[in-house]
Amino acid sequence: MPKADLHCYFCGSKESEVNYLIEGDEAYICDYCVDKANLVINENNSSKSSEFKLKPPKEIKDYLDTHIIGQDDAKKIVSVAVYNHFKRINDKNSDGSNQDVTLEKSNILLVGSTGTGKTLLARTLSEYLQVPFAIADATVLTEAGYVGEDVENILVRLYQAADCDIAKTEMGIIYIDEIDKIAKKNASTSITRDVSGEGVQQSLLKILEGTEAHIPPKGGRKHPEQPLVKIDTSNILFICGGAFQNLDKIINKRQNQNNIGFSNDEKSKTITASNFSHLQPEDLVQFGFIPELIGRLPIIGSLDYLTKDALLSILIDPKNSLLKQYQKMFSLEGVHLDITPDALQEIVDIAIKRKTGARALRSVMERIMLDIMYELPSIQDIKYCTVTKDTVVKGSKPIYSKLKKTA
């Protein structure tokens, strides 16, 4: 066949009208038809819905305990919510003998200061449940049709994380970070449309509750020629998290108004940013969330501010702690890493001053370890490396040793 006459044998598109043609035995197929064929195969596979193997809330929390220090209330709330979520899915997939009562979807809102473990909690949960997981940043989302990232693109991330398997996508978990940043700019109406605040909240309503969304498999904006993937969000668990700066002031104001007639000691009690246990839906409305969105996030968990002891424990105790990660990294060089107790305390003290919670621990450790990890591969016959308080505070060299330490 002359090159000028090359075309897709399925849709008839010419070579100049598509991205590329794939040659077969005396025939060609275009990339668009390949995508459509893959969608048909995936949709057929997804029609076979299997029951999710439920794990009791206690088992879920026990696993979270090995990776996340403290935050017991939040872990318990999330464990029960996730258990009920997948129990609801299994009920929908049952034979229909007990369908008189419909179990509503229970998405989760996590409230806590920066670095308290909101993202880690959601990620660890998905790893344990072995379901696809995706993170979206609410600050880049805009209402459909405006410059920015379309809300439905967060489903694209989950679809890609599920290796483009529709059935797995529809059983996944999406964590929307910085959800507090899409609060309405102010309570009063404005002639300027709030496309990154209330507009995004409105756009999130359908996918949070459950809808059939049609997404471009490779992301980006939709266009007429592009095949779309149909995703049912009814069984996708959404976990939203945010620091909610100044929300504590709203809670305090409501608490003080409700305390009229009590003693001054009672009225002086305040709710700080480290404890949102008294949070009510009306506080979130005052913060700038529309009631409809709050209604779709019925489960609220608060994460406490991390104390010095908690940060120290986070640094050394979890299964995948920073200290253990660095020790493994050093072991790849054949070196045992040791950090003295007073050095660990100094690392925590520096992290606390940065006021970014557990995230500060990594940046502090990276700064301390940079020169050591730069020099170590060039030093011969080193078996032990001990980081001291002077290494952390003054930038002194660590103690290197070639001999096995004795007690």
Using the predicted structure, report yes or no on whether residue 378 has a pLDDT greater than 60. Answer: yes
Phi-psi region of 226 (alpha: psi -120 to 50; beta: other; left: phi over 0): beta
Q: What pLDDT score was predicted for residue 3?
A: 55
Q: What pLDDT score was predicted for residue 42?
A: 62
Q: Model confidence over 148-172: pLDDT tens digits?
A: 577 888 999 999 999 999 989 998 9
Higher pLDDT, 27 or 328: 328
Task: Report phi then psi at 113, rounded to 5.
Answer: -60, 165
Whole-number Å distance between alpha carbons of 292 and 281:
11
Q: In which band, very low, low, confident or very high, does the pLDDT at 314 lie, cut at 50, 70 and 90?
A: very high
Out of 133-137, 185-189, 199-203, 212-216, pick the least confident. 185-189
Whole-number Å distance between alpha carbons of 240 and 111:
9
Q: What pLDDT score was predicted for residue 189?
A: 46
Q: What percent of the chain has pLDDT over 70?
A: 81
Average pLDDT, the chain: 83
Q: What is the CA radius of gyration of the chain?
A: 26
Q: What pLDDT score was predicted for residue 334?
A: 92
Q: Is 74 exposed, middle or buried (0-12, 13-18, 19+ CB in 10 A)?
A: buried
Give the chain's domains with CATH numbers: 3-40 (no CATH), 57-302 (3.40.50.300), 308-401 (1.10.8.60)
Q: What pLDDT score was predicted for residue 95?
A: 54
Q: Model confidence over 292-305: pLDDT tens digits?
A: 999 999 999 888 88
Using the predicted structure, report yes or no on whether residue 391 has a pLDDT greater than 60. Answer: yes
Q: In which band, very low, low, confident or very high, does the pLDDT at 145 lie, cut at 50, 70 and 90?
A: very low
Can you read off the two tokens belonging to residue 406? 């004795």
Whole-number Å distance between alpha carbons of 319 and 311:
15
Whole-number Å distance between alpha carbons of 243 and 229:
34
Q: In which band, very low, low, confident or very high, does the pLDDT at 404 lie, cut at 50, 70 and 90?
A: low
